[in-house]
Structure 1
Amino acid sequence: MTSPRTVVFDLDGTLVDTAPDLIGALNVVLAAEGLPPVPLHEARNMIGGGVRKLLERGLEAEGREVSLAELTRMTDDFIGYYAEHIADDSRPFDGLEAALDELAASGHRLAVCTNKLEWLSRRLLERLNLSPRFAAICGADTFGVSKPDPAILRQTVERAGGELSATIMVGDAGPDVGVARRAGVPVIGVSFGYTEVPIADLKPDRLIHHYSELTAAIAGFSQQARIAT
């Protein structure tokens, strides 16, 4: 029997494969600047630090330097386009919804903690009919801090009505492992997301390759805690 916990998920590359729409928006902005598109397979690992970071990486890949004012303008252009195309091709990763059903049936509280803007995160999850599953959906602008700052995870858990001592983080990249470590909670890495450094190299407490493995990974933490006591 698994003790109910708060399970906090990253969004891009963890819950949802958002790369097609994110890179699509990036390439629209790059095209407006007279730059060639970045291939999807090359750009997937640019995702993860928010819109501005994605643009910076896309521009760097093209050898282009811009001023802060230009970057701000391009960020606004990106968000304007992306908001209208946020779920054109983005889809939940295989097995996600079944895993969320299992967790909810076991009494787990679910939340989202992402470096995406909150309103964009909500719009995406609403378009995919996922938002009702989460007790809290928090982004980089929700509390004014981003992962790996532990404050964003602590406040996400609080908003969800959970306890940090009974929380597990699930993510695909360094900011997710970092925020969990700094907040003192265990972290499960997913191998199918977006990361420049392979997730296994970041040494999460558990590593899964498909959502069918998630409930067993979470149960393993409870079993480990019982053995320790």
Structure 2
Amino acid sequence: MNDIPFDIVGFDLDGTLLDTHRDLGEAVNHALELGGYDRVPVEQIESLIGGGAKIMLKKALDDAGGVTEEEFRPLYKALLAYYAEHNAVHSRPYDGAIAMLDGLAERGIKMAVVTNKFESFATDILTKLDLASYFETIIGGDTMGKGRSKPQPDPIFEAIRRCGGGPCVFIGDSTYDMAAARAANVPVVAAAYGYCDRPAHELGADIVIESLYEFIPALQNMPALQKN
């Protein structure tokens, strides 16, 4: 029996389902070192995450004084190449993630990942962590084409379509996630334990949770705001 008023749950990946900051940080620091820049301390990596690898590296380089587009391009390629080989060294599901995914699956709820990480990276990491089979679809920042990743609603609309339609709720940890969900007119949950780019209670979510153990109980108390 499904005691949740949604047919579909959409998940952001980094900072929502998975703690990926160490692997992302190593990739950023690999690129920085190649360019002759100082490494970013691990504790600062989380503040760079959210908009995808390109934005993450650009923020780090801007903090270091900035680079030209010509200088940026090879460093970005180096980051991607390094991350392709080292994307699941330290990355792990957050506490409560497996039990939560099992609970949703038992209720017959379809699940999708909507991330600004490249689709190939997201699929690879989830496969390595034995999580890919939970999801009907994995939509990355490059899946929909240029200019159509979060904070645009397009990937959420596509996730709903691929999951067969019905009431959907989204969970994420950043302003990108909140804006995409609001533009798609779906309820949204903020993951306060993630890499929030502003205080979780200021993100404008319908509900804020402190861990994934709280997610299903939170959904049980949310109204389905839209039929798609």
TM-score, structure 2 length as denominator? Answer: 0.93
Aligned partners of 1:106, 1:158: CA distance in 2, in Å? 20
Q: CA deviation at 1:73?
A: 1.7
> Unaligned stretches of 5+ in structure 2?
none
Deviations 1:198-225 (A, max 9, x none): 1211120011001111101111114x77
- If each structure's helix is expressed as a fraction of its own residues, which one has the higher value? 1
Which residue among 156, 159, 173 is the counterpart of 2:162?
159
1:62 is aligned to: 64
Other structure's SS at 1:75 match? helix
2:131 is aligned to: 130
Give the share of equivalent positions with the same residue, in percent: 38
Aligned partners of 1:41, 1:159: CA distance in 2, in Å? 37
Other structure's SS at 2:222 match? helix
1:93 is aligned to: 94
Aligned partners of 2:116, 2:184: CA distance in 1, in Å? 16
Q: CA deviation at 1:45?
A: 1.2
Q: CA deviation at 1:160?
A: 2.4
Other structure's SS at 1:147 match? coil
Give, as a single letter, the amino acid of the residue that structure 1 aligns with 2:139: C
Which residue among 44, 47, 72 is the counterpart of 1:45?
47
> Unaligned stretches of 5+ in structure 1?
none
Q: Is the 8 A contact 1:111 1:136 kept in 2?
A: yes
1:11 is aligned to: 13
Aligned partners of 2:6, 2:69: CA distance in 1, in Å? 46
Q: CA deviation at 1:2?
A: 2.4
Aligned partners of 1:92, 1:106: CA distance in 2, in Å? 21
Deviates further, 1-10 or 174-183: 1-10
Q: Is the 8 A contact 1:118 1:141 kept in 2?
A: yes
1:221 is aligned to: 222
1:35 is aligned to: 37
Aligned partners of 2:91, 2:74: CA distance in 1, in Å? 25
The aligned length equals 221
Give, as a single letter, the amino acid of the residue that structure 1 aligns with 2:177: D
Aligned partners of 1:182, 1:202: CA distance in 2, in Å? 14
TM-score, structure 1 length as denominator? Answer: 0.93
Aligned partners of 2:95, 2:218: CA distance in 1, in Å? 17
- Runs of 4+ deviating beyond 4 Å: none
Q: Is the 8 A contact 1:112 1:137 kept in 2?
A: yes
Q: CA deviation at 1:21?
A: 0.2
Deviations 1:133-171 (A, max 9, x none): 0001001111111101111110122122233xx000000
Deviations 1:40-60 (A, max 9, x none): 111211101111101111112
Aligned partners of 1:12, 1:2: CA distance in 2, in Å? 24
Q: Is the 8 A contact 2:6 2:168 kept in 1?
A: no
Counterparts of 1:98-109 in structure 2 under 5 Å? Answer: 98-109=99-110
1:81 is aligned to: 82
Q: CA deviation at 1:71?
A: 1.7
Other structure's SS at 1:107 match? coil
Q: CA deviation at 1:4?
A: 4.3
Q: Is the 8 A contact 1:4 1:109 kept in 2?
A: no
Aligned partners of 1:209, 1:125: CA distance in 2, in Å? 23
